Structure 1
């Protein structure tokens, strides 16, 4: 059961960042939102509760997505709190945990997140891994974490062929799980996507949630100021 005391009286606005798929652009959008909030003078925090895909640095595993989040938050946070569970191989978290002889649970991840949620800030982003139903063990998924935290969801739609089905099914699942789809972001991951404008219009008409922005394909050089300028955080 969710901790209703914490869920009912948050110290800040907290959102769960979900994606339509792996590599939809969750971290790009999350860091863009953090940059936009920083530009407005807001205090920000972020959590990447579990990450799979990391390299050793100074004797500890570090995940690139978590490091990118760490670089954008305004409030100091030890890496171990920002990314408390991390595995080396870039595979599904539950499989990485099995290979490491560990078991990850939603209760554990929720506890880590709540530890950060107790810190003062104006905006807190909790970034998931993969898509909405990515397992964390044989019975639970990251969707269960969002439910446990009762966090409104920001959905990052990776704009490519097939995104309509992925986005609409994910939005349906979020609502069936009893959560609010606070907004969505279109992230153009395929620069050559056919009928990109028409697909965007189809999502606008069907997702029944505000669009926070449309991020163009940026290539290898990521300009976070450019991403932030594409996002409207006043909607949140």
Structure 2
């Protein structure tokens, strides 16, 4: 069984949507160990409601922080310190693939000295990189790829979210990480959309594991 960490080139690039699609495609379990901000609902709640007709288990967060901010700031507001060791000690029992959703990008701080990338390394998870098309996304994508390479993180490949045109091919070429899939833009990221994308992605995704 595999641990697969879904990270993005920044905040708001569609990590949760892609996590739901990958979870459905692999009939996997889902876990977001750190949630910062939950006034409008948590990412775990979104995935739970979006996945229909599934046996996937949505595991509870280790840290559920009220402030929608960088995790180290949100934790500090509540008088706690995020511990990577604690998260690793609470990895859910793995009887099938486990999709782990990160918080923001790889260099989002978790505490005074550790970042999301350090959590990925500690968990020993394979990485799926999520990129979305916007002004600056090439730079953010390639910086993310460089961090992965410098930290020797095992990257499975890219999933692009939005409409990329030649951006997609260029990011794949310059990063030297393969294309797993492209998920088109939608205004209705609901269960039907997720199920359709999962069906399209399933066979190809399994080839990367």
Match of 1:234 in 2: 206
Q: Determine if the alignment matches structure 1 residue 108 to structure 2 residue 105.
A: no
User: How far did residue 106 of structure 1 move?
Assistant: 1.1
SS in 1 for 2:144: helix
Aligned counterparts of 1:212 and 1:129: Cα–Cα separation in 2: 21
Give every structure 1 segment of 4 or more consecutive aligned residues whose post-TM-superposition deviation is greater than 2 Å. 68-77, 229-232
Q: 2:68 aligns with which of 74, 77, 90?
A: 90
Taking the aligned partners of 2:57 and 2:9, their CA distance within structure 1 comes to 30
Corresponding residue for residue 19 of structure 1: 8
Aligned to 2:35: 51
CA contact under 8 A between 2:36 and 2:64: conserved in structure 1? yes
What's the CA shift string for 1:125-160, capped at 9, x where partnerless?
A: 111000111111111111111111121110001221
Q: How many residues align?
A: 201
Query: TM-score normalized by structure 1?
Result: 0.79
Alignment match, 2:180: 212
- Please point out which of 146, 151, 159 is paired with 2:125: 151
Displacement of 1:230 in angstroms is 4.6
Cα RMSD between the aligned structures? 1.9
Task: Find out whether 1:138 has 2:112 as its counterpart.
Answer: yes
Give the greater-gyration-radius structure (CA).
1
Structure 1 distance, partners of 2:187, 2:105, is 22
- Determine the structure 2 residue equivalent to 1:6: none
Structure 1 window deviating more from structure 2 (213-222 vs 126-135): it is 213-222
Is the 1:13–1:124 Cα contact (8 Å) retained in structure 2? yes
Provide the rounded CA distance (Å) in 2 between the counterparts of 1:74 and 1:83: 19
> Mean Cα displacement is larger for which, 155-164 or 198-207?
198-207
1:183 aligns with 2:181: no
What are the ranges of 5 or more consecutive residues in structure 1 without an aligned counterpart?
1-11, 39-43, 56-61
Q: Which runs of 5+ in 2 are unaligned?
A: none
- Residue from 142, 145, 165 that aligns with 2:139: 165
User: Contact 2:127 / 2:153 at 8 angstroms: preserved in 1?
Assistant: yes
